[in-house]
Chain A
Amino acid sequence: MLKISKFVIVLLLATLSISFADIHWITDLDKGFKKAQKEKKLILIYVYSPKCHYCKEMERTTFKSKKVQEMIEKYFVPLKIRKCSEDGQFVKMEYGYFGTPTFHFLEPDGTKIKSIFGAWKEKEFLKILEYFAKGYYKKMNMTEYFMRD
């Protein structure tokens, strides 16, 4: 009986750890840029504010999606930058700012590809990620890409 209880507890903890898994956000801009150059991955900067309702909404839903996590971990170096921090000010000056959340998609060398404003549901965010991850951004602009559907 004790063995069964232990097994159930372990299983429960394992399930919880999976469901609460998170994206491995890097919060230091320099560290993130160096990693991207080294791994030759695209950079995804997520500009957030702790008081932003829609940022919390995305963190609670879209970022908890396993598919989103896998896509981000595989193709991007994810950076989470607080709007009002020193790095946040730099990002604002360098890549622009539209409100929170703002997503900046950059080449591994830091060249801006595109910025997108607002929170997105899992399905739509996956399609947006795919546009960059699969290199469609090199062939057509985002509107043209989504016009094809």
Chain B
Amino acid sequence: MNRRNFLKVAGLATSAVAVSPILLKGTATAEAKPQKKSYEEALKEITGGKPVKDSDKVKLIAPAIAENGAVVPVKVTVNHPMEEGNYVKAIHILAKKNFDPRSISAHLTPANGRAFISTRIRLAKTMDVVAIAELSDGTFLKAEKPVKVTIGGCG
């Protein structure tokens, strides 16, 4: 390649690099923005509109006062068999007043042996935390607990 050709190719390459972000705008970048949802909407996504019964089979353990709303420990145990055809299919945790109330969905199988999860969730403010157990027969059970966090602070 002679000097003239090299300069032509280099010039074209530079132009292509400079122009590509404009041409590719909206195609190459992910533009998924977080969606604000109500608790009812989030619940419907999980249950498909089926009723959810309060049940003491679902044990939700969370602090009544969380010293740090960014990492609130939550444990859920469902007192239900874990055998073929009759098991807890999933445990969902929702934080009612969060921007998106769905905090976690843990999918289980009988191989898990026990319907139990332990995690940490973020709470934007004081609110109720809800644990939903999705059973293999398509029914839903739930337990709720209010968790208080600081009303705020300055940086």
Binding site for B on A (CB under 8 A): 49, 51-55, 57, 98-102, 116-121, 124, 127-128, 142-143, 146-147, 149
Pick the residue among A55, A128, A143, A146 that contacts B154 (CB under 8 A).
A55
Pick the residue among A119, A127, A128, A149 that contacts B153 (CB under 8 A).
A119
Q: Are B151 and A118 in contact (CB under 8 A)?
A: yes
The minimal Cβ–Cβ distance linking A53 to chain B, given in whole angstroms, is 6
Interface SS majority for chain A = mixed
Known contacts A117-B153, A120-B151, then 6 further A-B pairs from the complex at CB < 8 Å, ordered by chain A residue = A53-B152, A55-B154, A117-B150, A124-B65, A142-B67, A147-B64
CB within 8 Å: A-B pair count: 61
| B117 interface residue per 8 A CB criterion | no
- B interface bracket (residues with beta carbon within 8 Å of A): 10 to 19
Q: Are A54 and B63 in contact (CB under 8 A)?
A: no
**Considering the chains assembled together, what is the distance between the CA atoms of A116 and B153 in angstroms?**
11
Q: Note all chain A residues with C-beta closer than 8 A to B61.
A: 147
Pick the residue among A57, A116, A119, A147 that contacts B62 (CB under 8 A).
A147
Binding site for A on B (CB under 8 A): 61-68, 73, 148-155
Pick the residue among B62, B64, B73, B153 that contacts A54 (CB under 8 A).
B153
Q: Are A146 and B63 in contact (CB under 8 A)?
A: yes
Provide a sorted-by-A list of 22 A–B residue pairs whose CB atoms are within 8 angstroms: A49-B154, A52-B153, A53-B152, A53-B154, A54-B153, A57-B152, A98-B153, A101-B153, A117-B150, A118-B149, A118-B150, A118-B152, A118-B153, A120-B150, A142-B67, A143-B66, A143-B73, A146-B64, A146-B66, A147-B64, A147-B73, A149-B63
Q: Note all chain A residues with C-beta closer than 8 A to B68.
A: 117
Q: Note all chain B residues with C-beta closer than 8 A to A55.
A: 154
The minimal Cβ–Cβ distance linking B55 to chain A, given in whole angstroms, is 20
